[in-house]
Amino acid sequence: MSGIEVAGLVLGAFPIAIELLDKYREVATRAGLFYQIKLKHRQCRNRLECERLTFTGNLKQLLLPLVADDEKITDMISNPGGLNWKDRATSDLLRKRLKDSHDVYMECIEHLDGVMKKLIHELALDSNAIQKSLGDPKLPLTKERLRNAMTKTGIEYQTYKIKFSNGESVRNGLFKELSSLNKRLEQLLSISDKETQLMQDRQASAVTSAIDSAICNLWINANKLFEALAAAWRCSCQSQHSTRLLLQHRDTKKAEFNVCFAKPEASQWKIQETKISEDTELASELVKNDSEGAVYPAAGSREPTQLVRLPKRSAMKSKVKTTSKPGPAVTLMTSAVTCCTAAVKPITSLCDSLDDHSASCYGYLPHDDCRYYVYRGPHQATEIFNTVTLEQLFHGQALKPPNRRQRLALSFILSSSFLQLLSTPWLAVSWAKSDIIFMSDPGEPGVYALDRPHLYRNLADRDCQKQSDENITKSLRQLGIILLELCFGKLLEDQPCRKNWPPVNDENAKFALDVAAALDWLQEVEGEAGPDYASAVGWCLLATRPGRWRQEMLWKVVKPLEGCHRSLVSQGRM
């Protein structure tokens, strides 16, 4: 018999003992022999019930993580001798969960079984005379039955009363042992669960550490990708192209980039989406599907992972006035190199390659130490494509301005993207609000995806000198000002704390006054968005560039803003 079956038997012993106690009480009361032991009998029953509840709770804690079917657990608790207790799969899962504690746990169960048998015997519930009387407890109380109290049956009841009264110390010992075993079961399960939790936490910590490291080092990959794209952008119509990078937080180790490409064609914009990855296994699969004539939605099947997962037509879209900037959507992804396939050719002109709509994989962009494979995205279109900038949103050019949840989401995404891209050609210095754009929905003119901010950049501008500590500090403070403005949905220049300062023409002096006004405005942030948001903004405004500023910014700015955003979303607040 397996240990889990014994547990079922122990569980079944409790209600049997309680039921027999209750029935004996009924019979003894009719015989007029119960009143002398009434109090101790009640205490005994209560202790038995308490231990039953404790043991049942221990079993539920043991079974809940193992058995996904709630009906099965209900059946096991209500039917201790049922077939579910003999399920080998459950027994194997139990051993896996308890790990090193399994054998000791099962020994405790078997010990409990023995204690319950002793306790039932000590309660004299195995008396033949009592069992015979219990078999017909509803017989009317007659003079003859009362006289029987002084005959053989009555003597049995009297014996029971004496034994029950004199056996208190033995019962107490058994109850104490029962309680001790129940606590031991709870402790063993707790030790096993803590061990499992610690292992899971360690694994999660290792994954988180790897992701954090990937985020802080993404600027290296971003720089390589820009160089690879720029080198392949050799067409004569290069100056007419529109290129935009999707700004996003990352929760995987993969370096993922979403870029928007468009070029004018017959008074409209030809919009092209692509995906770029170092994953040659995906390239091989795509080539195989192409050779078999299969339709393969390359980019659509593996969209980049973002924290802010909102529907395509989410609350983070707003109708705005007509604007002039175009904005197609191209998706680029990079990941670890695995293998190479000779069927995929190098791309010498990205513009020409994107015009080929027959292949799922266009080829690869070569770099010094890696290759970026380019895949066709889910959408290609030719149409008028409008955008709105963050600056225009602040100036009220949206019919419906971003709400509080949308602004906190943007704060989180922009700070994370800043950490990932600063000191690369994508973000040589801190961005201006006019650089951050939102594209319209091709299927619904006038609606803009406010959850997908993009950064406009010219691929022809490849120069990016290493920034000094002073410039990085200035860029961080410029970001802090944008975070302040997103917190309140208002521009710093319109606030009394900034208007109190006189106008100046010198840019450095003007920026110094902006920072001073921002520090005054910072005092109001905690009441508006909470202490974490205020602390994140304060770090940007006050921090001097540390040696590992990306790592510090991740923990002092990005993660607190992530917490603010998650909290607001979980509360369903706008």
Of 110, 149, 103, nearest to 9 by C-alpha is 110
Confidence (pLDDT) at 497:
93
Contact 528, 488 (CB under 8 A): yes
* DSSP code string of 85-146: GG-HHHHHHHHHHHGGGHHHHHHHHHHHHHHHHHHHHHTTTT-HHHHHHHTSTTS---HHHH
Q: What are φ and ψ of residue 375, in 5° steps?
A: -115, 150
Distance CA 184, CA 187 (A): 5
DSSP H or E stretch at residue 334? strand 330-334
Cα→Cα distances 420→221, 222, 462, 543, Å: 10, 8, 18, 18
Contact, 456 vs 435, CB < 8 A?
yes
What integer pLDDT is reported at residue 250 of this predicted model?
84
pLDDT of residue 65: 78
Calpha distance 540→414 (Å, rounded): 13
Tell me which residue of 514, 474, 512, 523 sits closest to 492, measured CA to CA: 514
Q: Burial, 572: exposed, middle or buried (Cβ in 10 Å; 0-12, 13-18, 19+)?
A: exposed
| CA–CA gap between residue 128 and residue 155 (Å, rounded) | 13
Cα–Cα distance, 105 to 187 (Å, whole number): 10
Measured from the Cβ of residue 447, the count of other Cβ atoms closer than 10 Å reads 15
User: Scanning the structure block, which residue is given the tokens 């058995």?
Assistant: 67
pLDDT at 297: 37
Contact 261, 241 (CB under 8 A): yes
Tokens of 340: 């190479």
Cα separation values, 396 from 6, 211, 433, Å:
72, 37, 14
Give the residue among 366, 350, 381 at the shortest CA–CA distance from 273.
381
- In the prediction, which pLDDT does 285 show? 54
Residue with tokens 């003894």: 28
Task: Indicate the angle between helix axes 531-542 and 469-488, nearest 10 degrees.
Answer: 150
Residue 468, CA distances (Å) to 397, 419, 520 in order: 36, 16, 27
Let me know: does 417 contact 457? Beta carbons within 8 Å: no
Residue bearing tokens 């407890």: 137
Phi and psi (nearest 5°) for 334? -130, 140
Separation CA 20–CA 287 (nearest Å): 75
Instruction: State residue 417's pLDDT score.
Output: 93
Q: Which neighbouring-strand residues pair with 269?
A: 264, 383
Q: What is the pTM of this model?
A: 0.60
* List of residues 6+ apart from 307 with CB closer than 8 A: 249, 251, 412, 413, 562, 565
Determine the residue type at 66: L
Q: Please state, in angstroms and rounded to a whole number, the distance separating the CA atoms of residues 433 and 161.
A: 89
What is the token pair recorded at 180?
């001790």
For residue 458, count other CB atoms closer than 10 A to its CB.
14
Give the chain's residues under pLDDT 50: 126, 134-143, 145-146, 149-150, 280, 293-342, 574
Report the pLDDT value the prediction gives residue 188, as an integer from 0 to 100. 86
Q: Per DSSP, what are the bridge partners of residue 437?
A: 389, 454
| Residue 194 CB partners (closer than 8 Å, separation 6+) | none
What pLDDT score was predicted for residue 445? 64
Enumerate residues 6+ apart whose C-beta is below 8 A from 435.
389, 455, 456
Q: Looking at 355-435, which runs of residues are DSSP E strands? A: 361-366, 371-383, 387-389
Q: How far apart are CA 535 and CA 558, in angstroms?
A: 11
